[in-house]
A = this chain, B = another copy of it.
Amino acid sequence: MAKYVGLPLALLFGFDVIVVVAFKVMHLRWIAQPAIPLSLLGSAIGVIVGFRNNSSYGRWWEARTLWGAIVNNSRTLARQAVTAIRPVTEEDVQNVQYLQRRIVLLQIAWVNCLRQQLRGLEPWWELKDILPQEEIMLLKHEKNVALEIQKRIGLLVTEAYENGWINERQWANMDDTLSRLCDAQGGSERIKNTPMPRQYDYFPRIFVHLYCLLLPIAMVGNLGWWTPLGSTGVGLIFLALNQIGTDLEDPFSNTIFDIPLTAICRTIEVNLRQMLAEKEIPALERPIDGVLW
């Protein structure tokens, strides 16, 4: 907690002490204004802060659900690739296995690439063990790399259809899975690119801070030397409410309150490599200092 709302709380406590000293020691009577309508202000601020909290949590949970959909549909795509694509002739067996493996690896590349794009980082380092070097070179020319990777998966699915390895219905089911993945990508980008309207950020913050400044002035007349305690107590709640709302507002901002994208991507990689029946599978991500990235 110390780290969480520590600084503003310390400032508030300092201000409280100044007010109470001015009132009790320096006898500046005019500093006490018990008639300040604290509860009026408090409930009005409660409306806006409560609303902001709801919306922030809603954004955070929607983001988490979208990445849940990415997990689900990555597994579904892999299941479809592994169970539906079937060789027609003896010679196809190798090619089919290569194609299955390539679709699954491209999907792993896609989730890692999308993660980096959302966090505003370069994806290349993440892709270097998954895709061949030449392919990464080609991808570097694209504006939206994840989109290009998905198009390549689409072309591979059509290739499987043209070779007769899947029927048209299976092509369609895999195409549906790609569409759902495309929806999840678009949804993540929507949350990333559309912050809360600035008013919802701006007003709660100034209201809460203004309220904290008024607290000791309104309380000192009644509470006397207890003022710093009472004022810091009430202030803590409002500062915490405001801070919680701000934390979850942008779930892809690469902070400790983020959706744990790195761990999710690793889970997908583990699941998908298991489906390919690979032997060596990387370990799941573990929390660092209690935080999963």
A contact residues vs B (CB 8 Å cutoff): 1, 4, 33, 35-51, 53-55, 57, 60, 64-65, 68-69, 71-73, 75-76, 79-80, 82-84, 86, 142-144, 147-148, 150-151, 154-155, 157-158, 162, 167-173, 175-179, 182-183, 185-187, 189-190, 194, 197, 199-200, 202-203, 206-207, 210, 214, 219, 222-223, 226, 230, 233-234, 237-238, 240-241, 243-244, 247-248, 257, 260, 270-271, 274-275, 281
Contact = CB atoms under 8 A, between A and B. Distances in A.
A171 B168 CA distance: 11
A164 to B, nearest CB: 13
Contact of A210 (B73, B80, B175, B233): B233
A38 B157 CA distance: 65
B175 A244 contact: no
Contacts of A41: 233-234, 237
A241 B275 contact: no
Contact of A176 (B173, B219, B244): B173
Given A43-B43, A48-B237, A199-B247, A182 B72 contact: yes
A43 B234 CA distance: 11
A53 to B, nearest CB: 6
A176 to B, nearest CB: 7
The 5 A-B pairs with the shortest beta carbon distances in the complex, nearest first, are A35-B222, A72-B186, A83-B154, A68-B190, A168-B169
Contacts of A150: 79
Contact of A230 (B36, B46, B155): B36
Interface of chain A, main secondary structure: helix
Contact of A170 (B69, B172, B219): B172
A82 B202 CA distance: 45
Given A37-B219, A44-B238, 9 more contacts: A41-B234, A47-B49, A48-B244, A72-B183, A76-B178, A76-B179, A84-B154, A168-B169, A197-B247
B40 A83 contact: no
B197 A257 contact: yes
Contact of A271 (B42, B147, B241): B147
Given A143-B274, A244-B203, A274-B143, A83 B157 contact: yes
Contact of A65 (B50, B168, B190, B271): B190
A243 B64 CA distance: 25
Contacts of A155: 83
B44 A151 contact: no
27 contacts: A1-B202, A35-B222, A35-B223, A36-B223, A36-B226, A37-B39, A46-B47, A51-B53, A51-B54, A51-B57, A64-B194, A68-B187, A71-B186, A71-B189, A72-B183, A72-B187, A76-B178, A80-B175, A83-B155, A84-B158, A86-B162, A143-B274, A144-B271, A147-B275, A173-B176, A203-B240, A207-B237
